[in-house]
Homo-oligomer: A and B are copies of this chain.
Amino acid sequence: MSPCAACKLLRRRCAKGCVFAPYFPPDEPQKFANVHKIFGASNVNKMLKDLPVHQRGDAVSSMVYEANARVRDPVYGCVGAISSLQQQVIHLQSQLTVANAKILSMQMHQAKVVPT
């Protein structure tokens, strides 16, 4: 059996029960490379071991996402996405407030024009 992508990059034997193996298959070397570059293998190892097995897959996915974002944007990483989404939420909320005010004003106008 070929070693997982983590053990391959770390040049170590991929022992049975390797904590990385279920999440870093040998055919996706870049997935581990970025996580290793940003968080460091020993931190990732520790973070995974501190979690119950059923949450490790999600933890790996979020770490891979964060690591890829930080490699793409070394200054803001995925915090850049958070800022831009926050801006988008503020913009949409203000557009919705304007639209709702317009609806209210039209309803009041209509009530005057067509009295029930």
Q: What is the oligomeric copy number?
A: 2
A33 → chain B, closest Cβ, in Å?
A: 13
Taking the complex as formed, is A55 at the interface, i.e. its CB lies under 8 A from any CB of chain B? yes
Q: A78-B66, A79-B62, A79-B65 are in contact. Are A92 and B96 (CB under 8 A)?
A: yes
Q: How many angstroms between the C-alpha atoms of A85 and B110 in the bound complex?
A: 37
Interface of A is mostly: helix
Q: A59-B74, A114-B113 are in contact. Are A43 and B51 (CB under 8 A)?
A: no
Taking the complex as formed, is A102 at the interface, i.e. its CB lies under 8 A from any CB of chain B? yes
Interface residues of A in 1-53 (CB under 8 A from B): 37-40, 42-43, 47, 50-51
Q: How many angstroms between the C-alpha atoms of A50 and B113 in the bound complex?
A: 68
A residues lining the B interface (CB < 8 Å): 37-40, 42-43, 47, 50-51, 55, 58-59, 61-63, 65-66, 70, 74-82, 85-86, 88-89, 92-93, 95-96, 99-100, 102-103, 106-107, 109-110, 113-114
